[in-house]
Amino acid sequence: MAISLIERFRSRLPVTDATPVISLGEGSTPLVRAPRLSERHRAEVWLKWEAANPTGSYKDRGMTVAVSKAVEEGAEAVVVASTGNTASAAAAYAAKAGIRALVLQPAGAVASGKVAQSRMYGATILEVRGTFDEALAAARVLAERGTHALVNSVNPYRREGQKTAVFEIVEELGGMPDAIYLPYGGGGNTTSYGQGLSELGGMPARLIAAEARDRAHTVATAIRIAEPAHRESVERALKTTEGALVTLDDEAILDAWADLARSEGLFCEPSSAAGIAALVIEPPQPGATVVCIVTGHGLKDPAAAEAHAPAPVPVDPDPDAIAEAAR
Ligand code: F0G
């Protein structure tokens, strides 16, 4: 039976017996060895498959804590500005808690799988005529008015939940990896990993944060964020861990994304491949153990896959025609 993230890490989270545990069985995601990437980069490369979370992205780790605390504090509705994944997670955990979710998403910039999910979970979805940053600013104001609890990663409970991925990695590897590579949008997740590493103490893994060069227009819509809310804490986390910031062209992200599916059998959304793309630019030390965080599922963004992968070939139900077409 899947243990909830809050139960697994209770002693390291800001919860008490009075906190209702709103869980969908998040966390405890697979750490998958990547033999082909390992060979290519002359390192031990592991992939933390965060798409295995209940809504298909790592956001569930933070959302179980944020929504549980919101309910404990009496909230009847949550609000979130999102490029899609946080929205789906907020909508799902709000549904589980029996409270309302208000989603503010930048119009026309959210992948279709994410919108479909949030709709199905029953969230109120508003398409904001503006950017993610503008939607976040509006969400903050609404939260200050007291009608909604804000569950963006500026909410510290989100980061508390997200830091647990580091604990799982270290537990499973039986020690600290040399480096952790992850996508960097708003920076909440990089900040959370920095927090997890510092709570563990000792020599931390180097954090390698991978951002899109053209932040405002990247094809990687999940990380299409011009002004990262956590820029300063990301800089601190990179400094403390002697890590690095890697800036990627869209082409590098898309290459790593397509290659991951074909060579390792993991189909993620484009943004989620940023950490893997960064292996090329900030190569691991020879023989180092490194973990790339694969943050969200490929089915979140079917249009990206359809635009990049070869289309199926039509054929009649005739064995000879099929044999011919399959050559
Ligand atoms: N990967 C995925 C799949 C994401 O959805 C996000 C952020 C990130 C990486 C970057 O994480 O922002 O903490 O640096 N998605 C947010 C959202 C912005 O609204 O779903 P970050």
In order, the DSSP letters of 28-64 are ---EEE-HHHHHHHTSEEEEEEGGGSTTSBTHHHHHH
Per-residue tokens: 293: 């965080």
pTM of the predicted model, to two decimals? 0.97
Residue 2 confidence class, pLDDT cut points 50, 70, 90: confident
Buried b (16+ CB within 10 A) or exposed e, 135-159: bbebbeebbeeeebbbbbbbbebbb
Q: How far away, in angstroms, is 160 Cα from ligand 1 center?
A: 16
Give CA–CA dist 121/96, Å, rounded: 9
Nearest CA to ligand 1 atom 10: 185
SS3 71: helix
**Is residue 115 predicted with pLDDT exceeding 80?**
yes
The arithmetic mean of pLDDT across residues 224-233, rounded, is 97
Share of residues in the chain with pLDDT > 70 (%): 100
Per-residue tokens: 84: 């899609």
Indicate the top mutation candidate among 60, 150, 189, 276 to test ligand 1's pocket, ranked by most ligand atoms within 8 A of CB: 189
For 181-210, write each residue's pLDDT tens digit. 999 999 999 999 999 999 999 999 999 999
**Is residue 1 predicted with pLDDT exceeding 90?**
no
* 223 CB within 6 A, ligand 1: yes
SS3 248: strand
For 3-20, write each residue's pLDDT tens digit. 999 999 999 999 999 999
